[in-house]
């Protein structure tokens, strides 16, 4: 029976892909939530899903509302944090309703990638040895609903549809940030700093989403079938302004990596046989060479640019974190419980570096702090599997829109070298990453059964709708 259900879902996905491409070619108007039917006024649930996905992602970006609730110095107090947690409830409710209405697809998505549910169970299990059990349990619940939203997005949208939703959602954030710079320059800049933050609470968040905006807008611009090149050009300019204004080195490096990866995945899809192997080997060598160059010349480069050679205190922080990781190498300190006021080990680091770091500024190190070597190995297995499946989908089914989500998955790995963005609750960046991982495992068997899906037909006009 399970095999039959899987085959039925595969057939549904294939039929959906064909109808999606046909609807994109015809430009069917589907953005009205309420539609007149023979029986009266009815709700178009598919449009409701699209709006719900966009609003949920916007709420999870941390845009606008944290800025409005922040203190004069830009900090968030406990009452403000409590209000922001309540604002996550609509996204939780949306995800729950979607998964209840699509329980069969949800169960299949779980079965096709059992590593993710296991990793999702680890935060709850780590309560048993956590140095802050209550904090771990509360944040584990938040992570659970965060990943449930990723499941909802993965089973209800194709990569091309999700691309349009992310394109619209981030477009609003970036355009509002540019508008904020024109209307209220003081509010658009970080207090005591010339760096731009837009409608976000800090410059790094603006830089991260500007990087993602540039990736998404570039993908839309390259895809002539969407008919959105003019809009993409405007958002590319706005994204570049926000990226440069934020001054975030992590975002700038990630953006450079994104454009390298776009070229890599396009070449990977266009080549065959031994040529594809050569492309992979050359890319690995280039990446290894870039790492060596960074190791040798990063400090002189930063000093020449007037930047902190310690990566804003990250290097001494990492040295101290590594010592703490070694103390609990197997299981760690419990999910997100290390960087809490109740942990003496965290205070030992803070007193040494003379600033209260909220995390390790490295996603891989924070994963080690949370789960130790055992959980980190499982997470790396998940990453390797996702990157492999994504590359296979891009090679065999490029017209389904796998390019951007493949690039984003690898870009997030790059960002986590200097930031902590893995397994974060209520965060749109991790939600999109988890959505990509789920999509890869959900669609990879479909492509293996039917690798040749129809190519989308170019559309005239600028209106693009999301079909059922």
For residue range 159-206, list pLDDT tens digits in order: 999 999 999 999 999 999 999 999 999 889 988 778 999 999 999 999
Q: Rank 192-201, 354-363, 377-386, 443-452 by mean pLDDT and report only the highest.
A: 377-386
Strand-pair partners of 34 = 43
Helices and strands, counts by H and E, the chain: 19, 2
Exposure on the CB side of residue 10, measured as CA atoms within 13 A: 16
Q: Say what percent of the chain tops pLDDT 90.
A: 63
- Residue ranges per structural domain of the chain: 88-156+291-454
Predicted local distance difference test score (pLDDT) of residue 151: 98
Predicted local distance difference test score (pLDDT) of residue 450: 53
For residue range 214-236, list pLDDT tens digits in order: 999 999 999 988 889 999 999 99
22/28 Cα distance (integer angstroms):
9
Residue 465 binned pLDDT confidence (cut-offs 50, 70, 90): very low
169/219 Cα distance (integer angstroms):
15
Is the pLDDT assigned to residue 138 strictly greater than 60? yes
For residue range 364-373, list pLDDT tens digits in order: 999 999 999 9
For residue range 232-274, list pLDDT tens digits in order: 999 999 999 999 999 998 999 999 999 999 999 999 888 888 8
Predicted local distance difference test score (pLDDT) of residue 8: 45
State the DSSP H helix or E strand holding residue 53, giving kind and residue range, or none if neither: helix 45-60
pTM of the model: 0.87
b/e sequence 349-365, b meaning 16+ C-beta within 10 Å: bbeeeeeebebbbbbbb
Residues 24 and 456: beta-carbon distance below 8 Å: yes
Which residues, 6+ apart, have CB-to-CB distance to 466 below 8 Å? 30, 31, 46, 47, 50, 157, 161, 164, 165
End-to-end Cα, the chain, rounded Å? 27
For residue range 275-334, list pLDDT tens digits in order: 877 877 787 777 777 777 765 666 666 666 666 555 677 889 999 999 999 999 999 999
Longest dimension (CA), the chain: 72
193/413 Cα distance (integer angstroms):
28
Is the pLDDT assigned to residue 363 strictly greater than 80? yes
For residue range 320-351, list pLDDT tens digits in order: 999 999 999 999 999 999 999 989 999 999 99
Predicted local distance difference test score (pLDDT) of residue 307: 64
Is the pLDDT assigned to residue 376 strictly greater than 80? yes
Exposure on the CB side of residue 322, measured as CA atoms within 13 A: 6
For residue range 88-113, list pLDDT tens digits in order: 999 999 999 999 999 999 999 999 99
Higher pLDDT: 224 or 149? It is: 149
């Amino acid at each position: 029976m399970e095999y039959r259900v899987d085959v039925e879902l595969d057939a549904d996905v294939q039929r959906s892909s064909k109808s999606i491409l046909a609807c994109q070619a015809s430009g069917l108007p589907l953005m009205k939530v309420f539609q007149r039917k023979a029986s009266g006024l009815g709700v178009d649930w598919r449009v409701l899903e699209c709006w719900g996905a966009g609003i949920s992602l916007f709420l999870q970006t941390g845009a606008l509302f944290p800025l409005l609730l922040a203190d004069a110095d830009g900090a968030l107090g406990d009452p403000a944090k409590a209000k922001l947690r309540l604002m996550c409830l609509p996204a939780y409710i949306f995800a729950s309703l979607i998964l209840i209405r699509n329980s069969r697809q949800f169960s299949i998505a779980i079965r096709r990638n059992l590593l993710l549910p296991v990793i999702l169970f680890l935060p709850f299990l780590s309560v048993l040895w956590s140095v802050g059990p209550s904090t771990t349990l509360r944040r584990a619940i938040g992570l659970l609903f965060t990943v449930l939203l990723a499941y909802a997005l993965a089973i209800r949208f194709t990569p091309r549809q999700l691309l349009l939703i992310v394109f619209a959602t981030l477009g609003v954030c970036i355009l509002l940030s540019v508008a904020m710079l024109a209307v209220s320059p003081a509010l658009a800049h970080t207090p005591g700093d010339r760096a731009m933050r837009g409608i976000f609470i800090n410059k790094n968040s603006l830089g991260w989403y500007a990087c993602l905006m540039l990736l998404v807008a570039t993908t839309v611009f390259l895809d002539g079938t969407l008919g959105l090149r003019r809009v993409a050009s405007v958002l590319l300019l706005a994204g570049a302004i926000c990226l440069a204004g934020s001054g975030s080195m992590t975002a700038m490096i990630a953006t450079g990596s994104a454009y390298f990866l776009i070229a890599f995945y396009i070449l990977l899809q266009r080549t065959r046989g031994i040529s594809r192997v050569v492309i992979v080997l050359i890319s690995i060598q280039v990446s290894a060479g870039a790492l060596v160059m960074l190791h040798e010349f990063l400090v002189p480069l930063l000093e020449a640019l007037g930047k902190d050679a310690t990566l804003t205190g990250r290097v001494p922080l990492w040295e101290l974190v590594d010592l703490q990781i070694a103390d609990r190498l197997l299981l760690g300190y419990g999910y997100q419980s290390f960087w809490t006021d109740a942990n003496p080990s965290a205070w030992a680091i803070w007193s040494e570096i003379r600033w209260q770091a909220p995390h390790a500024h490295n996603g891989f190190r924070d994963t080690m702090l949370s789960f130790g070597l055992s959980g980190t190995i499982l997470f790396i297995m998940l990453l390797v599997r996702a990157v492999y499946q994504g590359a296979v989908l891009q090679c065999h089914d490029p017209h389904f829109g796998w390019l951007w989500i493949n690039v984003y998955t690898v870009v997030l790995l790059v960002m986590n070298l200097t930031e902590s963005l893995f397994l974060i609750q209520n965060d749109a960046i991790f939600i999109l990453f988890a959505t990509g991982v789920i999509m890869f495992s959900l669609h990879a068997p479909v492509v293996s059964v039917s690798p040749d899906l129809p190519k989308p037909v170019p559309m005239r006009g600028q209106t693009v709708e999301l079909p059922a």
